[in-house]
């Protein structure tokens, strides 16, 4: 037995779960999510929910348990499951609609998502059912929201806190200088949230205090790039783990309004003419401290399309080309980009909204191989789950997808999806039932 085979045998000896549950995926070309070149003729052994071994096909197959189910992936590509790092499932709660969207996500290759602040009473049940495999859905990692008191006139906060005074729900709290932040974060942590989302209408000093207390209590900090009046540089100084919306970074150069409600579209010119020097400073900080950018650039293209259809519609904070330029500059500066959407594709789109974001990132100038890394490893890092997912590696959850064409050659080849494996369970793309219009209609 060679050294590689001995290592596989050792991994199997410590693997959890019954050997009868083992599945051996053979002769695959593995794209592991790290951005490294694809490796041909590889095998992945799954035992229960986790990957037991990854390696050259002959080594893994020689050490696989007798009776393991074998799946031949000759000529096919095996990748980590995809991650959408910005969804909203319950503003307001609509269980039928949420399950339909989650089902489309899973059968389209998405095995995990970040829910970026909703009614966490509803999200909590979806999260439990998804993890247990009771519904076909990605795993969910969610955020409890904190914002200044003046933000809670926003009707979305009323929709997501029905039965509770807006701003006083543990999952959506109004914060000011008098707030006991230790208590506020403890209440948020009690919702089982993964993170605190710092949203709007907070000054820089309070953003920093919230972030410090959240980190002290073991929560991630997810924030908007501008928190109004807190500037992007103040948000970064607070050491947010992930910042959302590339567009908002431009406030550092264009000026940051005092409140979220006073958002005014920004002039694109200073950001389209080449690398912006003010943004360069922000991106140096982000790279140095490992802050991830949840760019969400496809949502700005959607806004552009609405204005094109109806010139009287209010334009977005920035245009699609401007958001793409900011994201491209961030990527060139070495900032990790995750793949969040923050909008929902129409019900009759057979693919998850995430595929629009992936295509937009490629169009913005990111190589397909790096967009895949963004949608896998960086997405896992954004959710704080890189120890469990994001790459094809022994010990991690068996969250995998199989395509018949090479997605590093063309990101659209992700739509040659044949099989999704989530926590060791198989979901075949051919079994996907398209969403019915009634499932996406708002419940009254």
- Model confidence at 40, pLDDT cuts 50, 70, 90, reads very high
pLDDT tens for residues 196-249?
999 999 999 999 999 999 999 999 999 999 999 999 999 999 999 999 999 999
In a domain, 440, yes or no: no
Query: Quick one: three-class SS letters along the chain?
Result: CCHHHHHHHHHHHCCCCCHHHCEEEEEEEECCCCCCCCEEEEEEEEECCEEEEEEEHHHHHHHCCCCCEEEECCCCEEEECEEEEEECCECCECHHHHHHHHHHHHHCCEEEEEECCCCHHHHHHHHHHHHHCCCCCCEEEEEEEEECHHHHHCHHHHHCCCCCCCEEECCEEECCCCCCHHHHHHHHHCCCCCEEEECCCCCHHHHHHHHHHHHHCCCEEEEECCCCCCCHHHHHHCCCCEEECHHHHHHHHHCCCCCHHHCCCCCCHHHHCCCCHHHHHHHHHHHHHCCEEECCCHHHHHHHHHHHHCCCCCCCCCCHHHHHHHHHHHHHCCCCEECCCCCCCCCCCCCCCHHHHHHHHHHCCCCHHHHHHHHHHHHHHHCCCCCCCCCCCCCCECCEEEECCCCCCCHHHHHHEEEEEECCEEEEHHHCCCCCHHHHCCCC
| Token pair recorded at residue 376 | 């896998």
Task: Tell me, yes or no, whether 99 and 165 share the same domain.
Answer: yes
Task: Tell me, yes or no, whether 66 and 102 share the same domain.
Answer: no
| pLDDT at res. 442 | 64
- Model confidence at 13, pLDDT cuts 50, 70, 90, reads very low
In a domain, 437, yes or no: no
| pLDDT at res. 443 | 45
| Lowest-pLDDT choice from 19-28, 53-62, 198-207 | 19-28
pLDDT tens for residues 392-416?
999 999 999 999 999 999 999 999 9
| Percent of the chain's residues with pLDDT above 90 | 89
Task: Tell me, yes or no, whether 295 and 399 share the same domain.
Answer: no
Task: Tell me, yes or no, whether 297 and 422 share the same domain.
Answer: no
Task: Tell me, yes or no, whether 90 and 75 share the same domain.
Answer: no
pLDDT tens for residues 64-111?
999 999 999 999 999 999 999 999 999 999 999 999 999 999 999 999
In a domain, 436, yes or no: no
Task: Tell me, yes or no, whether 54 and 105 share the same domain.
Answer: no
Q: Which of 22, 27, 25 is nearest to 68 (CA)?
A: 22
Task: Tell me, yes or no, whether 24 and 137 share the same domain.
Answer: no
Residue identified by tokens 């120890």 is: 387
Task: Tell me, yes or no, whether 281 and 329 share the same domain.
Answer: yes
Task: Tell me, yes or no, whether 168 and 195 share the same domain.
Answer: yes
Choose between 422 and 9: higher pLDDT.
Answer: 422
| Token pair recorded at residue 101 | 């969207």
In a domain, 257, yes or no: yes
Residue 273's domain comprises 85-382
Task: Tell me, yes or no, whether 250 and 300 share the same domain.
Answer: yes
| pLDDT at res. 23 | 98
In a domain, 387, yes or no: no
Task: Tell me, yes or no, whether 65 and 202 share the same domain.
Answer: no
pTM of the model: 0.94
| pLDDT at res. 256 | 94
CATH code (residue 163): 3.20.20.140
Q: How many domains does the chain have?
A: 2
Task: Tell me, yes or no, whether 144 and 214 share the same domain.
Answer: yes
CATH code (residue 21): 2.30.40.10
In a domain, 433, yes or no: no
Distance CA 420, CA 428 (A): 6
Contact between residue 400 and residue 79 where contact means Cβ atoms under 8 Å apart = yes
In a domain, 389, yes or no: no
**Rg (the chain; Cα; Å):** 22
In a domain, 280, yes or no: yes
């Amino acid at each position: 037995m060679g050294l590689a085979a001995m290592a596989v045998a050792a991994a199997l000896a410590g693997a959890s779960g019954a050997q009868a549950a083992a599945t051996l995926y053979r002769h695959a070309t593995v794209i592991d999510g790290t951005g490294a070149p694809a490796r041909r003729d590889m095998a992945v052994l799954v035992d229960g929910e986790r990957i037991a071994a990854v390696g050259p096909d002959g080594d893994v197959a020689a050490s696989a348990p007798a009776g393991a189910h074998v799946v031949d992936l000759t000529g096919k590509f095996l990748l980590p499951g995809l991650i959408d790092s910005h969804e909203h499932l319950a503003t307001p709660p609509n269980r039928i609609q949420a399950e339909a969207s989650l089902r489309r996500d899973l059968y389209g290759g998405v095995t995990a998502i970040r829910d970026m602040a909703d009614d966490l009473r509803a999200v909590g049940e979806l999260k439990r059912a998804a993890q247990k495999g009771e519904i076909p859905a990605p795993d969910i990692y969610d955020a409890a929201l904190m914002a200044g008191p003046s933000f809670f006139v926003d009707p979305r906060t009323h929709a997501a806190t029905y039965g509770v005074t807006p701003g006083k729900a543990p999952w959506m709290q109004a914060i000011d200088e008098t707030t006991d932040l230790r208590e506020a974060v403890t209440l948020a942590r009690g919702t089982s949230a993964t993170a605190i989302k710092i949203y709007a209408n907070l000054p820089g000093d309070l953003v920093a205090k919230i972030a410090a207390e959240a980190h002290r209590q073991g929560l991630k900090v997810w924030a908007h790039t501008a928190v109004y009046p807190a500037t992007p540089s103040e948000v970064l100084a607070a050491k947010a783990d992930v910042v959302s919306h590339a567009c908002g970074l431009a406030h550092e150069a264009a000026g940051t309004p005092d409140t979220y409600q006073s958002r005014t579209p920004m002039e694109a010119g200073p950001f389209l003419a080449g690398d912006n020097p003010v943004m360069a400073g922000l991106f140096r900080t982000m790279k140095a401290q490992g802050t991830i950018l949840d760019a969400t650039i496809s949502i700005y293209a959607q806004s552009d399309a609405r204005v094109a259809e109806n010139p009287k519609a209010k334009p977005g904070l920035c245009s699609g080309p401007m958001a793409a330029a900011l994201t491209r500059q961030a990527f060139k500066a070495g900032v990790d980009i995750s793949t969040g959407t923050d909008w929902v594709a129409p019900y009759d789109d057979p693919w998850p909204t995430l595929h629009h974001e992936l295509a937009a990132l490629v169009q913005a100038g990111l190589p397909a191989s790096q967009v895949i890394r963004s949608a896998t490893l960086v997405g896992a890092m954004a959710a704080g789950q890189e120890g469990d997912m994001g790459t094809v590696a022994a010990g991690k959850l068996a969250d995998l997808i199989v395509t018949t064409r090479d997605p590093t050659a063309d990101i659209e080849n992700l739509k040659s999806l044949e099989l999704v494996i989530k926590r060791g369970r198989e979901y075949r793309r051919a079994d996907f039932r398209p969403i019915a219009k009634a499932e996406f209609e708002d419940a009254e």
